[in-house]
Structure 1
Amino acid sequence: MAVRLPRPARFDVAVAVAGLLGGLLLWGIGLGVRPATEAFVLWPGRWPILVPLAVTAGCELLRRAAPRTGLLLGTAAVVLDTLTRGNLATVLMFTDLMYAAVLYGPPASARRIPWITGLLTVAGTVVPLVVLRVPEAVLIGVATGLVAFTPAATGWIVRNHREAAEAARLRAEQTALLAEMDRSQAVTAERARMARELHDMVANHLSAIAIHSTAALSIDEPDTSREALTVIRENSVEGLAEMRRLIGILRDGDDEPAAVPTLDGLGALVDGARTGGLDVTLDAAPGRVPAPVELAAYRIVQESLTNALKHGCPGRVSVALVRRDGVLEVRVTSPYGRRDGPRVPGSGAGLVGMRERAALLGGAFDAGPDGASWTVRATLPVTEGDPA
C-alpha cells in the first residue's frame, strides 16, 4: 500500500523553487565550491552537480510534511555533492533541511539531531587535526559546524521558544476559562442568595395576606373581615418595607441589608405569626452566635412559621433554639394533617432555601412529618470565639 505524503506548504514550494533556480544560476556561470583538481572530486564535470542540486531541492518540498525523510535524502545528496565540484545552493538548502528537521520533526528527533551534529562537529575538528597534524584541518570541523550543528541548534532554540509561547497561551486560556467559571459560579451563588432573601422576606407577608383575604371573602362577618383587613394591611406595609430594603441592596450593591435580622427579633416574628392566627410558643436562649448563623436561624424559623400558616392544621406551633456541643439546634414543630380552612399552594422553594442556608454553613437540615406533627430540624455549627 503506497504511503501518500501530505501536500507541501506553499512556502516550502517557494523555498524549493528559489533554491533550484539559484543553484542553476551558479551552475550556469560555472561557479563551483571546489576546484576540479581537488582530491575528493570524483566527478569533475559540470553535469554531475545538477543531481544533488535537484535532489536537495526536491527534499525542500518535504521540510514540513516529512522533515526526517527530507533530511535523510538531503544528507545523501550533500554527501554526493562533496564528490562533485559542488554547488553553494545545495549546501544552503541542506542547512535549511537540518533546521526544519529540528523545528518541525518529532520531539525525539529534535532532541537527538543537535547532539549528533555537535558530536560530528567535535569529531570533524579533532580527528583531522590529529591525523593530518596541520592547522588547516580545523576548517573541516568549522565547516561541519556551520553546515550541520549551527542550523540544528538554531532550530532547537526556535522550537523551544515556540513551545514556551504555546504553553503560555494555553495557560492564559486556562486562566481565562477558570476566571469565567469563577465569575459564573459567583453570579449563580449571588442569584441564589437573593432568591432566598426575596422568598424569606416577602413570602411570610404574602402568605398572611392570602390566608386572611380568603377568610374575609369566605366569612360574612364584619368583625372577622375587619380583623382580616387589619392583618392584611400590616403585612402589606411590612412587605413593602422589605421589598424597598431588597431593592436598595440590589441598587447599592451592598453584601447584606443595612439591618440584618437577628435572633433578638424572634419575639416580634412570633408575635406577627400569632396575629396571623398561629398559636406559637417560643423557647430560645442561644446566647451570642456568629452573624451568619444568626441570620440563617432567623430565616429558618421565619420560613417554618410561614409554612405552618400556609399548610398547617389548627394547634400549637413550638419554636425552640438550643445551643450545645458547638452547634445551634433549631426545631420548629407544627400540627400536620388535613386542613379545612383556606390554603395557599406552595412551590417547595422554602424548603430548598432552608436546606441551602444550612449547607452553606456546613450544617444539616431535615424537614418532614413526625406522627401528627410536621418538624423542621436544622443544626448549624457555631464557631467558638468572637461571634462577629
Structure 2
Amino acid sequence: MAVRRLPRPHRFDVYVAVGGMLGGLLLVVLGLSTRPADEPIVLFDGPWPVLAALCVMAGCEVLRRVAPRTALLVGTAAIVLDTLTQGSVVTVLMFTDLMYAAVLYGPLASARRIQWITGLLTVAGTLVPFAVWREPETLLIGVVVGIVAYGPAATGWIVRNHRDAAEAARLRAEQTALLAEIDRAQAVTSERARMARELHDMVANHLSAIAIHSTAALSIDEPDTSRQALSVIRENSVEGLAEMRRLIGILRDGSEDHEPAAAPTLDGLEALVGGARANGLDVALHAEHGRVPAPVELAAYRIVQESLTNALKHAPPGRVTVALAQRDGVLDVRVRSPYGHRDGPRAPGSGAGLIGMRERAALLGGTFDAGPEGAHWTVRATFPLVEGEPA
C-alpha cells in the first residue's frame, strides 16, 4: 500500500523552528523559566523535561504549514507537558504560533472548530476556577488561556478571511479581464465580418459587371460592341472606386480630416436597378414603403444589390423582379430571377454572398431564405421595423 508523503516544509517554518529551539536552549542555559521548581503544579523539575517539551514544539513548528492539524495536536500535548515542568516562555510562544497556523492554513471546518473550542476553553478557564476557589486571582487563568489559545486562533481567522477575500477579488479580476478579452475578440470578429460584408456588397457588383463585359469585349470582334462594353467597364470602375472611398470613409469615421460618405438608402434603388439594366439585366422594381430605420435601409439595399449581382452572374436570360413591401411593422424584400441550367457563371464568385445576406438579416432580427421556386430563384428577407428588437 502506498504511503502518502508530506510535502517539504516551508523554508520560513524551518527558520522559525530553529530560532525557537536556539532561543529556548539559551533560556535553559541561563536558568530562566516561567515558574519555580517548588510550585505544586511542577511535577517534573530540572532542565530535561523543559527541553523535551521545547524539542517537540520546535518539531511541530516545522509542520505548521504542511500538516497544521497534526502539528497542533502534538503541540497541545507538548504544552501540557511544559505546564507540568518549570516551563519555557519560548515553548508557549511557539504554541501560540501553531494555533495561529492551524486556523490560517488548516481546512475551513477545522478552523471553525478551533475557534469554538478555544473560545469555550477561555470562558471555562475564567468561570470554573473562580466558582471553585472564589478568588479574584483565578480569573487570570482565563486571561492566560485567552492569550495563549483564543487570541492566536482569532488572529488567524481574521487573516484567513482577508486572504480569502483577496483571493476572491483576484479571481474576479481575472474573470473580468477574461470576459473583457472575450468581448474584445467578439467585437473585433464582428467588425471584421461587417467590413467583409460591406466590401463584398459594395465592390462585387461592379467587379462582376467589369468581368462580364471585359469577357464580351475580348470575345466579340466588333468595334461598336467593344466600345459599349468598355463604356460599361469604365462606369463600373468609377462607381466601384467611389464605393471603395465610401468604405475608407467608414473606417476613418471619427477622424478630423475625413468625413464618412452617406450610406446608401432605399431611395437609391432606382439608380441601382438602372445600373443593373445598363449591365444587361432586364429588371423591374416595385417598391412600396414608408419611413424605414437606417440599419434596415442599408441591409435591404445590400441584399437587393447582392441579388442583382448574383442574377447577373448566374441567371439565364429573363426578367428579374425586385419587390419591397411594408406591412404590419415588417419590411419584406423579395428578388426573383430566372432559374435554370446554364454552362457556368458569367463571372467567378466567392460564395460569400448568401452568407452575408443571411448575416445582415439575422443581425436586425429578421429572416432570410433563398432557393428555387419553380422556374425562378427567389431571395426573400424580412426585417422588423420596430427598433430595439434584434434577435
- Normalising by structure 1, we get a TM-score of 0.96
Change (3 A) 1:11 1:350: same
How far apart are the structure 2 equivalents of 1:60 and 1:11?
10
How far apart are the structure 2 equivalents of 1:384 and 1:15?
69
How far apart are the structure 1 equivalents of 2:299 and 2:311?
18
Instruction: Report the alpha carbon displacement of residue 341 of structure 1 after superposing the two structures with TM.
Output: 8.3
SS of residue in 2 equivalent to 1:64: coil
Given candidates 313, 330, 355, the residue that maps to 1:327 is 330
Change (3 A) 1:280 1:156: same
Q: Deviations over 1:65-109 (max 9, x none)?
A: 100000000000000111111111110110000000000000101
- Residues 326, 384 of structure 1: 8 Å contact kept: no
State the match for 2:377 in structure 1: 374
- Residues 212, 228 of structure 1: 8 Å contact kept: yes
Question: Where in structure 2 are the equivalents of 1:43-58 lying within 5 Å?
Answer: 43-58=44-59
Instruction: Report the alpha carbon displacement of residue 258 of structure 1 after superposing the two structures with TM.
Output: 2.8
Instruction: Report the alpha carbon displacement of residue 287 of structure 1 after superposing the two structures with TM.
Output: 1.2
Instruction: Report the alpha carbon displacement of residue 379 of structure 1 after superposing the two structures with TM.
Output: 1.1
1:168 aligns with 2:169: yes
State the match for 2:140 in structure 1: 139
Question: Where in structure 2 are the equivalents of 1:87-166 lying within 5 Å?
Answer: 87-166=88-167
State the match for 2:71 in structure 1: 70
1:268 aligns with 2:271: yes
Instruction: Report the alpha carbon displacement of residue 112 of structure 1 after superposing the two structures with TM.
Output: 1.5
Q: Deviations over 1:287-320 (max 9, x none)?
A: 1111111111110000000000011110000000
- Residues 126, 138 of structure 1: 8 Å contact kept: yes
Instruction: Report the alpha carbon displacement of residue 253 of structure 1 after superposing the two structures with TM.
Output: 4.7
1:288 aligns with 2:303: no
Superposed CA RMSD in Å reads: 1.5
Unaligned runs of 5+ in 2: none
Which is worse superposed, 331-340 or 305-314? 331-340
Change (3 A) 1:102 1:364: same
State the match for 1:212 in structure 2: 213
How far apart are the structure 1 equivalents of 2:249 and 2:5?
70
How far apart are the structure 1 equivalents of 2:131 and 2:293?
86
Seq. identity, %: 80
1:338 aligns with 2:341: yes
Question: Which residue identity lines up with residue 139 of structure 2 in the other structure?
Answer: V
Change (3 A) 1:278 1:341: farther
Question: Which residue identity lines up with residue 308 of structure 1 in the other structure?
Answer: A
Question: Which residue identity lines up with residue 288 of structure 1 in the other structure?
Answer: R
Question: Where in structure 2 are the equivalents of 1:233-272 lying within 5 Å?
Answer: 233-253=234-254, 257-272=260-275
How far apart are the structure 2 equivalents of 1:384 and 1:155?
57
- Residues 249, 261 of structure 2: 8 Å contact kept: no
- Residues 253, 260 of structure 2: 8 Å contact kept: no
Instruction: Report the alpha carbon displacement of residue 251 of structure 1 after superposing the two structures with TM.
Output: 2.8
Q: Deviations over 1:112-132 (max 9, x none)?
A: 112211111111011111111
Question: Where in structure 2 are the equivalents of 1:176-215 lying within 5 Å?
Answer: 176-215=177-216
SS of residue in 1 equivalent to 2:365: coil
SS of residue in 1 equivalent to 2:252: helix
How far apart are the structure 2 equivalents of 1:253 and 1:304?
32
Question: Which residue identity lines up with residue 180 of structure 2 in the other structure?
Answer: A
Q: Deviations over 1:224-245 (max 9, x none)?
A: 1111111111000111111112
Q: Deviations over 1:230-268 (max 9, x none)?
A: 1111000111111112112223458x9431111111111
Question: Which residue identity lines up with residue 293 of structure 1 in the other structure?
Answer: V
- Residues 252, 260 of structure 2: 8 Å contact kept: no
Change (3 A) 1:102 1:249: same
- Normalising by structure 2, we get a TM-score of 0.95
Instruction: Report the alpha carbon displacement of residue 64 of structure 1 after superposing the two structures with TM.
Output: 0.6
Question: Which residue identity lines up with residue 313 of structure 1 in the other structure?
Answer: P
Tell me how many residue pairs correspond in the alignment. Answer: 384
SS of residue in 2 equivalent to 1:367: strand
Question: Which residue identity lines up with residue 290 of structure 2 in the other structure?
Answer: G
Instruction: Report the alpha carbon displacement of residue 342 of structure 1 after superposing the two structures with TM.
Output: 6.8
Unaligned runs of 5+ in 1: none
Question: Which residue identity lines up with residue 160 of structure 2 in the other structure?
Answer: R
Which is worse superposed, 89-98 or 340-349? 340-349
How far apart are the structure 2 equivalents of 1:342 and 1:8?
76
- Residues 214, 342 of structure 1: 8 Å contact kept: no
Question: Which residue identity lines up with residue 217 of structure 1 in the other structure?
Answer: L
SS of residue in 1 equivalent to 2:238: helix
How far apart are the structure 2 equivalents of 1:186 and 1:3?
50
SS of residue in 2 equivalent to 1:352: helix
- Residues 211, 342 of structure 1: 8 Å contact kept: no
Question: Which residue identity lines up with residue 324 of structure 1 in the other structure?
Answer: R
Change (3 A) 1:340 1:20: closer
How far apart are the structure 2 equivalents of 1:147 and 1:12?
20
SS of residue in 2 equivalent to 1:58: helix
